[in-house]
Each structure stands twice: as C-alpha cells, then as structure tokens.
Structure 1
Amino acid sequence: MGSIGDWGAGATPAKGNPDYYGGSILWSRTGELNNGIVYDSEIKITDKALQECSLRMNKIGDVLIAMYGATIGKVAIVGKELTTNQACCACTPFSIYNYFLFFFLMGSQIDFIKKGEGGAQPNISREKLISHLMPIPPLAEQHRIVEKIQYLLPLVEKYSNSQILQNKLNSEVKDKLRKSILQEAIQGKLVPQIAEEGTAHELLEQIKAEKQKLVKEGKFKKSALATSVIFRGDDNKYYEQVGKKCLDITDEIPFVIPETWQWVRIRDVFQLNPKNEAEDEKLVAFIPMEKISAGYKSDFTFDTAKWGTIKKGFTHFANGDVAFAKITPCFQNRKSAIFHDLPNGIGAGTTELKVLRPYGNTIDRWYLLYFLESPYFIDEATFKGTANQQRIVVGYLEDKLFPLPTQKEQQRIVAQIEKLFEQLH
C-alpha cells in the first residue's frame, strides 16, 4: 500500500501546554473515525501546536485508519482539513481512487487486527500498513466497484435490521405461542365441545357433594357449603346469585365461553391453602421457592424434614395440590407446580406460595395449572408491596372467575396443550 499514496501518522500536543489547545484546527482521535466522512472533532488545537508538534495536516479526501486498541482498523475519509493523534494513520492517495482505498481498508479490518496481535493491545504501525499487499484494478473499475458498494451497503443495513427483528421475533415466538395456546384453551377454543360429555353444571353438583361429604366428616364447617351461582339471564346479561342477592356481573365477564361451560369463583370450587395433619416425627417434603422451576411445567425438588419442625410458619400442601408463586417476579415467570410423590404424601414450604386443592377428582390438576399460567390469570393480577418485591393482593385468587368445562373436556384440553407444546420444542 506504500505505492499508492503518502502515509503518515499524527501526534499529540503536550496536554499541559494551554497554548496548544482551544484553537480552530480539528484534531481527531481514533474514536471519532466513523467508517464514514469526518467533518468535526471534539478537541481543537492552535496554529502554534501545528507548527511546533510535528503534526500532519490532512487534506479533504485523505483516508484515515486507526492503528491501536479497540478501534484498530476503523476508517474514515477527511471531510474537512484536520490533524490526528499518533494512533491514527492517514493516506493521501496519488494513484488510486480514495473511496476504493477506503472500502478496501474497511474490508481488511480483520487482517489488520491479526497483524496487530501479540502485544498488550492490538497495534499496527505505519510500516505494517505500507507493506500490506493490495490488489489494484484499473481506475475505471475502481469507480464501478465503489458505485456498486455504495448501492449495496444501504441494502445490507436494511436487511441486517430486518434480520435483527426476525431474530428477536424468533426468540419470543415460542413464549407468545404458549400464552396464545393457554388463552385459547381456557376460552373453549382449543378443542371441540361434545354434547355427550354433559355440562359443567353437572360437575358443580359433584363438587357440592364432595363438600357435603367433608362437612359430614367434620373436616369442614357447614358455612363452607354456601357458594355463589353464576348464570346468564334471558337478557344475555350475567348474574351472580349470592344468598338472596342477585348481582349483575356482566362487566366482570372477560370473554365468552361455550354453553356447556360454567363461570365459577375459584373460592367456590377449590380449597385454598388447606392445612395438613400428621405426626410430628414423620418425614415430609420441605420446598422453598428456589426448589420450584419457572416456566410452563411442573418441575420441583424437595428436602426432607420432620413435620413437627415445619408445620408452623410455612404453607402446607399435599400430593395432588396445585401451587403457584404469589410474589414478583416468580409469579410472572410461572413458578408453579402440581405436587406429587411427596414423602408421606405431604409437605410444607415458602409462605409465598398459594395452594389450591380440588374437591376429589372433579377438576383436572393440569387444566388448573394451565389456567394459573394463562395470560388471563397472570396479566390481570394486581400487586402491593415494595418495589423490590410485591405480592398479589388478597382476594385476587379467591374472587377470580374460573371457566369450568366438563371433566372429559378438561382432559382433552390438557392433551391438546401438551401436544402443541411438544411441537414448539
């Protein structure tokens, strides 16, 4: 490259001399090389600095290249006469189209980095630059090459930006599809309704019978039998019968569900944070929050402890219970689980868990878990607490409307969700 122009590095005027700085002459550092045209510099120097510090004044059209450090190989074309520091080398071409040299240097950056390896930081010298081999086409072809590059580079940037957006979409699409699948599932749009499977009203009668059984066994108070009834009136509005009161709750209904389904309150169809009873010496599971995995799954591990040591001050759960984290960000990250294979069938853990226990086998555990992970349940939650950690407000879970399909449809929904989730891997 020494054959195609006059090459020279810059210098740095003594920083302690105020007579050298604050003038009108541009003094560019390598960080200001922008792979484009340089018209200005942050620091200006004086005529005195130019005369006394062996600085090279670079002409408009000269080509600059960075020789040191992180910016090695960066280039620019001088748009206004300027000087540079010693980390920058300039070339005044005399037998080559300056833009051809500019693009050649830009395309050779990796080669220059390799040539500069070996020291504390990458470093190429003027000697390495002028000895570097360069292919020279005829001048007219240089102009045609530059013209083609200048046509293509904006397209490269355009398609690069498109690729970045596509990569971002690809990284997010699985999560978006999972959420969409769960939302479709709880709206009754994922599988067809089958008339022979009955209605959710019949399922509610089973839940009522299970409650009555627990009352007779002395495990529940009779007041637990009091539940609200939600129905759609002849005027197509939704009403909730609570004792003798009938309230219009049309504005609460978030979406339409199939005719065979039933809107219910979570508190009416699940036991919430139930208590366990066991001998103090029994070994049971102990599950702090870090033992529960995030994501659309039910992965957890546990330690063992004697029941007497953890029965107080912790949240209870048993095999078949469904739990989710009520604190941020664990709530949004879908930290949740269906407990199973617990030692002696029970356990206890972090108080930041909410636990739901279906009455008998009336509600599929996986359907419940997927409901708790749906956008409808997650995105509408309200919180209170400090900025570092917030909890869902009391009553959000208890009062939440739950779309209840028949048992068989719950099972078909779960099977379809699992099939679709498998296809996302």
Structure 2
Amino acid sequence: MTAQQLKNSILQMAVQGKLVPQDPSDEPASVLLERIKAEKQELIKAGKIKKDKKSSEIFRGAAHNLPYVFCEQIGKEIRDISDEIPFEIPDSWEWVRLGSIVYNRGQMKPTSDFCYVDIGSIDNKRQRLGDTENIITPDKAPSRAKKIIDVGDIIYSTVRPYLHNMCIIDRQFSLQPIASTGFATMTCYSGLLNKYLFYYLLAPDFDNYANDTENSKGVAYPAINDDRLYKALIPLPPLSEQHRIVAKIEELLPYIERYGKAEEHITALNTTFPEALKKSILQEAVQGKLVPQDPDDEPASVLLERIRVEKQKLIKAGKIKKSKHESVIVTRDKIPYEIPDSWVWCKLSDLAILENGDRSSKYPVEADYVEIGIPFFGAKDIDGDMMSFQNVRFISQQKYDELGNGKLVDGDIICLLRGSVGKTAKFEANEQFDTGFICAQMLIIRLLDKSLFGYISSYFKSPDYTNYVESKVTGTAVRQMPAKEMGNLLIPLPPLAEQHRIVAKIEEIMPMIERLTLR
C-alpha cells in the first residue's frame, strides 16, 4: 500500500464514521442542522447571502413513515434518493448537500490594490496556501479576480479537480484577498468544522464524485461547475465528533508523511538498485571476483603471447602497421587494482587493431548516398549492443572502393569517439551485407582473437571502463575522446577458460536482474 493509498483509506474511514468511536452523549447532527438553518436565515435577513429557492433537506424515510431509506425535500417535492447514498453512516450523522452547509461571500470588482489568489498560489502536494502574496493593482486585475475570501474559507479549484488545488485560507493578508473564479469558495456555517469538510473534499468518495465524467466536463481541462459541486452529498457528524475526527486525522498524518518518505526512498532504491547491481557484478567480474580461478587454466600470459605473435605476423605481412608507441610493459604504478596471479594487465592495443574511419577528402557526403549499396554507419545506427541496418544510409560500391580506413568485417566492435563517447556495438555481417563503413566519429576495434569478444564486451559495460572514458573525454559542447586513448585502455585479462566462465555467469545473472526492474 502506498502512502497515498493509506491516506485515502484513513480519510474514507473518517467520513464513514469508522475512524473514531461515536459518543452517545454527543448532540446529534440533526440538531446541528437546525442551528445552521437558523444562522442561514439570519444571514439572509442581514442581506449577506441570498435565499436559496432550491434549499434541500435530506431525511430518513422511516422518520416520516415513508417507504424509502432516504428522501430529499426541495420545496414541496419529496423524492427517493436512496440509490444516491454512497455508504452507511452512524445514526447520529446526517446526509446533506454541500450547498446546504456552506455559502460564499460573493464577488467584487477590485477598485484598489489587492492580494490575488489563483491556482498558482496553491501547493497541491500539501494543499497549502503559498507564503508569497501576489499583490495586483486594479488596472491590471485579471478578469477572473472576483471572489471574496477570508480567513477560514475553503477554496477548491473546479478545473481538473483531480489535481487537488485546494486549501483552507489559514492566514491574514496585507490587503483585501480576492480569489479566481476558477475556485469554488466555501465559508462554513457555525457547527461545521472547516477542517472536517476540507478532509472530506480530499477523501476518495468526494474525489470520485468531482471527477466523474457525469460531473466533470471537458477533455483537456475537465471542470465541475458550481451547481454540480454544491449538489455533492456530505456525511455530517455531530460537531464534537467532527473535532475528534480531525484530531485523529492530524495525529496520523505525520506518520503517513514519514511512511511516504520511506516509500520514496524504497522506490528510488528499487529504481537504481538493479542498475547498480549490474555495475557491481561487472566490476567484480573484471577484478577476478565473480567466478573462482582454476589452477589448471592456461595463464593469460600465454594467451597474450599468442596474440602478440599473431600481431607480429600481420605486421610482417604488411596487413597492419606497427605502432610507434607500442609497449607491452604495464608498470605497477599504472595498475588500478590487484588481479589474480593467472591474469595479466595489458592495453587494448595489445589485443586489437584500432582503426579510424577515412577522414580524407574522399569521405562520403550526401551526394554520395544511394538507395542501396554499402552500409554507411553513424551513431544513430547503434541499437543497444548491435549495429542496426534498419535506417542506415548507403554509399555505392565505387565510393566504398575509393575509401581507405574504416571498412568493417564481421565481428568488429565499433566505438563512438564523439557524443556518447565510449558507447560500443558489434557489427555482424549477414547474407545481404558483409561489410560497412564507419563515420568519422567512430573507431573500429578488431580483436586479434575473436574468442575474446564476450569478455571484452562485458568489460566495456563495467564501471572500470566507464570511469576511464570519462577521465579522457574533452570538450563540453561536443564531448570527444582521441582514438589513441582507447589504445591505451588498461584491461585486466583473465585466462581464456576463465573468460568463458565469467561470460557464462554474467549471462546467467543479468536476466534475473532484468526481472527486478519489471516488479
């Protein structure tokens, strides 16, 4: 149960007479209603309010020997309203129409500076009036600035009532306060506690009534008109019980608020926890802490030597160029953390050929695009962990043949060097496209041993990699990273057999974490 659901439950219990016990010594609400009638007549006589030609009186049918549970009399007409009554109330309570127990102070056109209260004046998270006064001169008064209000009044926004833009006017103003006509303004007669009515207006029963499509009209800005609003049925307790109900609600609200904060914390934790758990597992993986080491595994140093020999063959055959800055030595002061004895530290350039796209004058421009041909990949074509062919641009075979670097082969990893720096994806050839060309903001990472792919891909998702990339990014308007920094990336390399165990364990765990996000 959420904090809001708990609050709603408490408010609904309160207005059904189930939150506090009834006291048989309380003066019944029927007597209270007689006093309200008398006060209403005095206000009419004094010219402060107008006589209501359709005043309503609701009573139990049995009290008048009528075969109905509840009846309503308007003028001389008596009708059965039993089907309208939403729930049972205690015997000492009465059902009334909202318009029978409140009145408004009327309207005025401002002739001097005044304090204007509009929707923006309300904190609808706490249903409180804001602290700042909005003082307006009469010549700049909005056309809606008309309704007179005073301390103790309730204002209720009739536009989009589900937003709960409502409050009790709980303080004095420096000037005459005037509210927008977007509010229904309610002054309670003596004997109706404004806080009780306020909490009823927040209760699910009234909320359902105000937002029912029969009452609230409109699509973008549904609104309930005053006539419909004042016809709402209100369960009226004895005055003493109103005080007890309000006291109990206000005793419970701080607990609900604390519950809400705890709920927000848990919600935030549930939102961030799966991603944090993923990162933690990936970091454990690349530090040799996710799966046990096996002393029978061939050490990573042997694997690295095989890759070095393969690289030398390619250099000798003229297929790749020897790097002028190549180094196989990783000094201890560069090592970020300890790894198992069977692992080795190496650079990405030790494990892969890094290739930029062709940035010469032959680089493709829009005039080179064709309907179908060789895929020309950009950042937008990265879809998760893969390069997507769905909306890719194409260049002709002739244009492709003119280009030098940046041509893809199956299994290549593409890395972004601008924008979402460090983001990687795999190029997989298919029957239709066995190659492609990368844009200038990309880098090809071609592993010298394809069996490293699973582990290296996992490393590219680890916090270790993310932190490295962030430390090498330059620029603010356009984030970018030099390609050489990818070559200098330090990688903790496990034995090949352990790499496979690491990848298998990650693939076993990650779906479980994904399920956490769906809860």
Q: What TM-score results when the alignment is normalised by the length of structure 1?
A: 0.77
Cα distance in 1 for partners of 2:220, 2:319 equals 75
SS of residue matched to 2:480: strand
Match of 1:166 in 2: 266
> Do residues 87 (structure 1) and 187 (structure 2) align?
no
Relative to structure 1, the CA distance from residue 111 to residue 393 in structure 2 (aligned partners, 3 Å threshold; closer, same or farther) is same
Question: Given the alignment, which residue of 229, 251, 269 partners 2:333?
Answer: 251
Q: 1:290 aligns with which of 362, 380, 386?
A: 380
Q: What are the Cα deviations for residues 281-302 of structure 1, in whole angstroms up to 9, with x where unaligned?
A: x9654433222213xx335336
What displacement does 1:211 show? 2.4
Q: Does 1:198 align with 2:287?
A: no
2:308 to 208, 222, 231: 208
3-state secondary structure, aligned to 1:380: helix
Q: Do 2:418 and 2:441's aligned partners in 1 also have CA atoms closer than 8 Å?
A: yes
In structure 1, the residue matched to 2:499 is 410
Alignment coverage as a number of residue pairs: 383
Once the two structures are superposed, the pairs formed by residues 343-422 of structure 1 within 5 Å of their partners are 343=432, 345-361=434-450, 363-381=451-469, 382-385=472-475, 387=477, 389-422=478-511
The change in CA–CA distance for 1:217 and 1:250 in structure 2 (over 3 A counts) is closer
Supply the distance in 2 between the matched residues of 1:31 and 1:274 (Cα, whole angstroms).
55
Corresponding residue of 2:400: 310
Say whether the 8 Å CA contact 1:4–1:93 is kept in structure 2: no
Residue identity matched to 1:300: S
**Per-residue deviation at 1:194?**
0.7
Q: Does the 8 Å contact 1:183/1:376 carry over to 2?
A: yes
Distance (Å, rounded) in 2 between the aligned partners of 1:158 and 1:372: 41
Q: How far off its partner does 1:258 sit?
A: 0.7
User: 2:161 touches 2:210 (CA, 8 Å); kept in 1?
Assistant: no
For 1:265 and 1:401, the matched residues in 2 are separated by 5
Instruction: Tell me the alpha carbon deviations over residues 299-335 of structure 1, each in whole angstroms, 9 at most, x when there is no partner.
Output: 5336565443224276222112222222222x36x34
Report the secondary structure of 1:251's partner residue.
Answer: helix
Q: Which amino acid aligns with 1:293?
A: D
2:128 corresponds, among 36, 39, 47, to: 36
What SS class does the counterpart of residue 342 from structure 2 fall into?
coil
Percent identity of equivalent pairs: 27
Cα distance between partner residues in 2 of 1:119 and 1:174: 38
CA contact (8 A) 2:159 2:222 kept: yes
Which residue in 2 is equivalent to 1:98? 194
User: What's the CA shift for 1:5?
Assistant: 3.2
Q: What is the distance in 2 between the residues matched to 1:190 and 1:54?
A: 70
In 1, the alpha carbon distance for the partners of 2:234 and 2:162 equals 21
Secondary structure of the corresponding residue to residue 273 of structure 1: strand
Query: What secondary structure, in the 3-state scheme, does the structure 2 residue paired with 1:336 have?
Result: strand
Hey, what's the Cα distance between the residues in 2 that align with 1:33 and 1:372? Answer: 49
Counterpart of 2:152?
61
Equivalent AA in structure 1 for residue 199 of structure 2: F
- Unmatched tracts of structure 1, length 5 or more: 15-19, 231-239, 241-248, 277-281
Aligned partners of 2:216 and 2:223 also within 8 Å: yes
CA 56–270 in structure 1, closer or farther in 2 if over 3 Å, else same:
closer
With over 3 angstroms needed to count, the CA separation of the structure-2 counterparts of 1:327 and 1:348, relative to structure 1, is same
| 1:320 and 2:416 correspond | no
Q: Secondary structure at the residue paired with 1:346? A: coil
- CA deviations on 1:373-413 (whole Å, 9 max, x unpaired) are 222122222223460x2211342111121111111111111
Partner of 2:80: none
1:424 equivalent to 2:513? Answer yes
How do residues 47-196 of structure 1 correspond to structure 2 at under 5 angstroms?
Answer: 56=148, 58=150, 60-68=151-159, 74-80=165-171, 83-85=177-179, 86-88=181-183, 89-107=185-203, 108-114=206-212, 115-118=215-218, 121-196=221-296
> How well do the aligned residues superpose, as a CA RMSD in angstroms?
3.5
* Structure-2 separation of matches of 1:55 and 1:226: 79
Q: Is the 8 A contact 1:7 1:126 kept in 2?
A: no
Instruction: Give the letter for the 1:87 counterpart.
Output: G
Query: 2:351 corresponds to which residue?
Result: 269
Question: Does the aligned pair in 1 maintain the 2:99–2:231 contact within 8 Å?
Answer: no
What is the letter of the counterpart of residue 84 of structure 1? I
Structure 2 unaligned spans of 5+ = 1-96, 359-371, 515-519
- In the alignment, the residues of structure 2 paired with residue 172 and residue 201 of structure 1 have an alpha-carbon distance, to the nearest angstrom, of 38
Q: 2 CA distance for matches of 1:118 and 1:283? A: 53
Question: Which residue identity does 2:128 align to in structure 1?
Answer: G
Does the alignment pair 1:339 with 2:437? no
Q: In the alignment, residue 301 of structure 2 is paired with which amino acid?
A: H
Instruction: Note if contact 1:72-1:123 (Cα within 8 Å) is conserved in structure 2.
Output: no
